[in-house]
Structure 1
Amino acid sequence: MAADPKPLKLWDRDKGKAVEEFMPDHQTTYETRPLRAPGQWLRATPLFDKLYALYQDAPWTRRSIEPFVREYKIDMSEFEERRYRSYADWFVREFKPDARRFPADPAVMGAPAEARYFGWERFGPDQRFPVKGQSLAAEDILGNAERAKPFLGGPVLLMRLSPVDYHHVHYPDAGRTVDQQRLGRSLWTVTWPAVRSMPDLYIRNERQVNILETEHFGRLGFVEFGALTVGRIVQRHSLDQPFARGVQKSVFKFGGSAVAIFGEPGAWRPADDILRHTPEGMETIVRLGEPVATSLRGA
């Protein structure tokens, strides 16, 4: 019999203390090796993803919204007031216009996602990123070694969006997209227990890789990861058009998901609290638009 999922210890920036977070992820989803369990294989297929999405978009799923809001203490006063047609419709709810703001200081990077953050100041040519006992290679995440090469020795931010979070992703700075590619096939959950048991989890998942040329933070490798029941990474801003700081980039359609940002060496530095807690294996809870890095250009 599978054990109950354990709570995750996180650093809550607003409260200034460590907290525990519990999300009811199904244990066998991440403890069985790929394709070994029939149920897991089925849940990882595009067909399941589509059927589950259709189910969650059904009108009767609206009854699940209020219990979820109560259980996880979601402050709905921050979101636009409207009638949601389904649970899936509520999942992609949007903040009221002034609920979140990006920094006025152009040298400060605002959080592109409301999420739990890990950060590294730099990484070497042979380094892989520790994520709860496993590791990720930059070239695998970004698609190839050539694309990863400009970021060697640079900073990294890794964001995990919980099912309770706002699931829209925003641009951290003004700029333009200079390269983009959609990679990956099978979808798997991206909870940290999943990452521990599947070292190559992220490179299996569908992901959108964008190389962004930004005004104040240089070139960024910006990667959005799909996860179980989140195969639909929908781009809200045309990738062939320039973008402004804080503008909505994309939305994840239902479920958990993740985002990674790679920076050029010496271009910027992740926030102190994120760097301080990452070696402890503790993510930092950050709200959309809050400071997550500082530009080192001209420093």
Structure 2
Amino acid sequence: MIHQYIERRSNTIQTESLVFDRCILTLYSSIREKAPWLYTLLLSSRTSSFMGFLNYDARFMTVFQDTHRLMARLGIDPDEIYGDLHQYNTYRKAFERKICYWQCRPMSEEASCVVSPADARALPGSFKTGQPLFIKDKFFDYDELIGIDRPKWKKAFREGDFIICRLTPDKYHYNHVPVSGTVVDIYEINGRYHSCNPGAVVKSVTPYSKNRRIVTVIDTDVENGTGIGLVAMVEIVAMMIGRIVQCYSGIRYESPQTLQKGTQLIKGQPKSLFRPGSSTTVLIFQHNRIQFSQDLLANAERTNVQSRFTSGFQKPLVETEITVRQTIGEAI
């Protein structure tokens, strides 16, 4: 079955080319049923790192002399590249590229807006029962996602809203800050390396809350903040993603720093880097603090799009392709 989404700028239906689709679906069906020990092994940290090495390093050790040809093969616009184009002469370097986001990914100057953390395919949702966007125990388990041992944050975000931002392997893999505010907590939760292929997500049980992830809680009700309450930014690894590197920069990509409690964040600036592969970022907002953009809400409920989430979960769930720093909602 194909998987489709809506391209935001043109409002057209697009069909996703899923990497290793047949292999991944086999892993989540026959292998999981007939060889559970192998299924568990393939989702481990060691195996995921080894697969990432084979896919992004071992088979791509060749240095490309013609970087324009490499960019064309990967569907990357060379005019977006930050720095010397010729330094991106291997597949890994190309996937971990920096871009002139201040030029090619413009951002609204509206102080109350929330922006996309990544070039991704996004799906809004709600934890509150009775809401059209209510999605329970499909993509993740709420308590697991935030952390079983984090009662303060589980209480703060209960009945709130969220948006899932799924990055595909070809995307720019830096995460940017979606809001301005102060880091009040940051912690890592260990876990597996489930694929974020839509077919695998449907066949798994709440995979996003089973994977290794980093949770950053940002207080935006501060001076020069976005004024949207607490926001949890959950960065989730996936198959072949070995690490999430925290590298916040207040100016372009200069002087990257790791985050800690008290760090002041500026909306739209680079926060972290996913190593190559597919990965996911989930933004969680407190109850009744955000109004998602109307086009994202309308697209999510479209019935004329062949989404694997729609067929798998038996309700319209359609992603919209967005770019980093685009507006995805506003503070209420």
TM-score (norm 2): 0.78
Unaligned runs of 5+ in 1: 1-5
1:98 counterpart = 2:114 = no
Deviates more, 1:249-258 or 1:152-161: 152-161
2:269 alignment partner, one of 247, 256, 261: 247
Deviates more, 1:67-76 or 1:259-268: 67-76
Shift of 1:234: 0.8
Query: Which residue does 1:3 correspond to in 2?
Result: none
Deviates more, 1:77-86 or 1:251-260: 77-86
Indicate how the Cα distance of structure 1 residues 117 and 35 shifts in structure 2: closer, same or farther if over 3 A, else same: farther
Can you list the C-alpha shifts for 1:183-227, whole angstroms capped at 9, x where unaligned? 132212111101111113112211111111122221011101100
Distance in 2 separating the partners of 1:242 and 1:120 = 28
Counterpart AA for 2:43: A
Can you list the C-alpha shifts for 1:250-296, whole angstroms capped at 9, x where unaligned? 11001000011111112111111111122322100001111101111
Distance in 1 separating the partners of 2:86 and 2:70 = 17
Correspondences of 1:191-202 after superposition (within 5 Å): 191-202=197-208
Query: Which residue does 1:222 correspond to in 2?
Result: 233
Distance in 2 separating the partners of 1:268 and 1:212 = 15
1:7 counterpart = 2:2 = yes
Query: Which residue does 1:150 correspond to in 2?
Result: 156
1:288 counterpart = 2:286 = no
Indicate how the Cα distance of structure 1 residues 212 and 191 shifts in structure 2: closer, same or farther if over 3 A, else same: same
Distance in 2 separating the partners of 1:61 and 1:109 = 41
2:245 alignment partner, one of 231, 234, 244: 234
1:162 alignment partner, one of 154, 159, 168: 168
Counterpart AA for 1:45: S
Shift of 1:79: 1.9
Q: SS of 1:169's equivalent?
A: strand
Are the equivalent residues in 2 in contact too, given 1:128–1:137 (CA < 8 A)? no
Correspondences of 1:119-134 after superposition (within 5 Å): 119-120=124-125, 123-124=128-129, 129=135, 134=138
Q: SS of 1:153's equivalent?
A: coil
Deviates more, 1:59-68 or 1:260-269: 59-68
2:90 alignment partner, one of 86, 89, 97: 86
Distance in 1 separating the partners of 2:108 and 2:124 = 19
Distance in 2 separating the partners of 1:61 and 1:7 = 33
Are the equivalent residues in 1 in contact too, given 2:146–2:215 (CA < 8 A)? yes
Distance in 1 separating the partners of 2:68 and 2:190 = 34
Distance in 1 separating the partners of 2:69 and 2:296 = 32
The structure where strand makes up a greater share of residues is 1
TM-score (norm 1): 0.86
Deviates more, 1:246-255 or 1:176-185: 176-185
Shift of 1:39: 5.4
Count of residue pairs the alignment pairs up: 289
Unaligned runs of 5+ in 2: 249-257, 302-315
Shift of 1:151: 1.5
1:210 counterpart = 2:216 = yes
Q: Percent identity?
A: 22
Counterpart AA for 1:252: F
Shift of 1:235: 0.6
Are the equivalent residues in 2 in contact too, given 1:231–1:253 (CA < 8 A)? yes
Indicate how the Cα distance of structure 1 residues 29 and 74 shifts in structure 2: closer, same or farther if over 3 A, else same: farther
